[in-house]
């Protein structure tokens, strides 16, 4: 059924309308409560307007994005590589499955003390914790993607005497790509969350998480909420950029499934 132009416009405006409504409720509630601990939207927006363009805040954002990027790339690379191996080998999967489930069930923040002992109080610890958190969603998605390869494809590869490395790179990896990308998208949000938490708990230093803590010690509620608002917007932008890349990388997948790219 063809969608009319007004219906398409209404559908596009629904999300922004809900967001604006949430801000309006926040504004009304904060104005009614009249507490310095609960700033209004306008107060937060004014502080953000003053702070976000400054070089000091941009340096905090740069530090956070640098740690996030390093941890995300490292964790994703380990997750994909290990997932391809474990997914393609039943023996390896049986051997490492208990360890995988144990580590995957361990909250990333719980390994901070051990990471501090190994790497010290610095960015190496933060990156290690982020990579740990990112690795397991990608690992599980990759394993499941490889396991979903049809038995007929596996049997054909054996008949043609395809080597293990070629089998992984030319058959399993392309077939598992939609599942891998799904895991990478889930890990994106997890990685950003753990990045900020690591800035909360690991030593001193910089970053948006550290900025929020400093504003809290100064009882600067608009500054605290401004930092939180920035992180929410940052996560949204990163997710939208990921979707754009996903549409291009998996255009063949959506076309074969008869779906339009999201």
Segment 194-205 mean pLDDT = 85
Q: What is the CATH number of the domain that holds 73?
A: 1.10.3720.10
Q: Point out the least confidently predicted range of 176-185, 227-236, 253-262.
A: 253-262
Segment 208-222 mean pLDDT = 91
Q: How many CB atoms lie within 10 A of CB 152?
A: 8
Task: For Cα atoms 176, 172, 85, give the angle at the middle one, nearest 5 degrees.
Answer: 100
Nearest Cα residue to 164 out of 100, 96, 87: 87
Tally of domains within the chain: 1
164 in a structural domain: yes
pLDDT, greater one: 143 or 201? 143
111 in a structural domain: yes
The token pair at 141 is 């998605």
231 in a structural domain: yes
The residue range of the domain holding 230 is: 38-256
User: What pLDDT does residue 59 have?
Assistant: 93
CB distance 153 to 175 below 8 Å:
yes
139 in a structural domain: yes
Q: How far is CA 19 from the centre of its chain?
A: 21
11 in a structural domain: no
What's the pTM?
0.87
Segment 149-164 mean pLDDT = 74
113 in a structural domain: yes
Q: Give 237's pLDDT tier (boundaries 50, 70, 90).
A: very high
pLDDT by residue (tens digit) across 9-64? 777 778 788 888 988 998 898 888 888 788 999 999 999 999 999 999 999 999 99
CB distance 207 to 60 below 8 Å:
yes
Top-confidence range, 29-38, 79-88, 153-162, 195-204: 79-88
User: What pLDDT does residue 261 have?
Assistant: 44
User: What pLDDT does residue 238 have?
Assistant: 94
Whether 1 has a pLDDT exceeding 90, the answer reads no
User: What pLDDT does residue 262 have?
Assistant: 47
Secondary structure (DSSP) of the chain: -PPPHHHHHHHHHHHHHHHHHHHHHHHHHHHHH-BTTB--HHHHHHHHHHHTTSHHHHHHHHHHHHHHHHHHHHHHHHHHHHHHHHHH-HHHHHHHHHHHHHHHTS-GGGGHHHHHHHH-SSHHHHHHHHHHHHHHHHHHHHHHHHHTS-HHHHHHHHHTT--HHHHIIIIIHHHHHHHHHHHHHHHHHHHHHHHHHHHHHSSS--SHHHHHHHHHHTT-HHHHHHHHHHHHHHHHHHHHHHHHHHHHHTHHHHHHTT----
pLDDT by residue (tens digit) across 243-256? 988 888 877 666 55
19 in a structural domain: no
| % of the chain surpassing 70 pLDDT | 94
5 in a structural domain: no
| % of the chain surpassing 90 pLDDT | 47
- Distance, in Å, from the CA atom of 34 to the CA atom of 93, rounded to the nearest integer, reads 57
Tell me the average pLDDT of the chain: 86
User: What pLDDT does residue 166 have?
Assistant: 76
């Amino acid at each position: 059924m063809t969608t009319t132009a007004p219906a398409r416009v209404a559908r596009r405006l629904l999300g922004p309308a809900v967001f604006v409504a949430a801000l309006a409720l926040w504004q009304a509630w904060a104005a009614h409560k009249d507490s310095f601990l609960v700033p209004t939207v306008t107060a937060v927006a004014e502080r953000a307007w003053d702070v976000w363009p400054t070089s000091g805040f941009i340096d905090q954002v740069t530090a956070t994005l640098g740690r996030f990027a390093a941890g995300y790339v490292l964790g994703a690379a380990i997750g994909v590589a290990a997932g391809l191996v474990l997914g393609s080998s039943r023996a390896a999967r049986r051997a490492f499955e208990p360890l995988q489930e144990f580590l995957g069930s361990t909250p990333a923040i719980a390994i901070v003390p051990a990471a501090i002992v190994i790497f010290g109080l610095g960015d190496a610890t933060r990156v290690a914790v982020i990579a740990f958190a990112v690795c397991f969603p990608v690992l599980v998605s990759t394993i499941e993607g490889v396991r979903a390869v049809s038995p007929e494809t596996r049997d054909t590869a054996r008949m043609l005497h395809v080597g293990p490395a070629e089998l992984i790179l030319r058959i399993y990896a392309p077939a598992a790509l939609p599942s891998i990308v799904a895991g990478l998208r889930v890990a994106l949000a997890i990685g950003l969350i753990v990045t900020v938490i690591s800035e909360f708990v690991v030593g001193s230093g910089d970053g948006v998480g550290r900025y929020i803590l400093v504003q809290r010690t100064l009882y600067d509620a608009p500054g605290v909420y401004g930092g939180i608002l920035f992180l929410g917007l940052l996560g949204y932008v990163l997710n939208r950029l990921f979707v754009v890349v996903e549409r291009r990388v998996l255009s063949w997948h959506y076309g074969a499934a008869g779906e339009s790219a999201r």
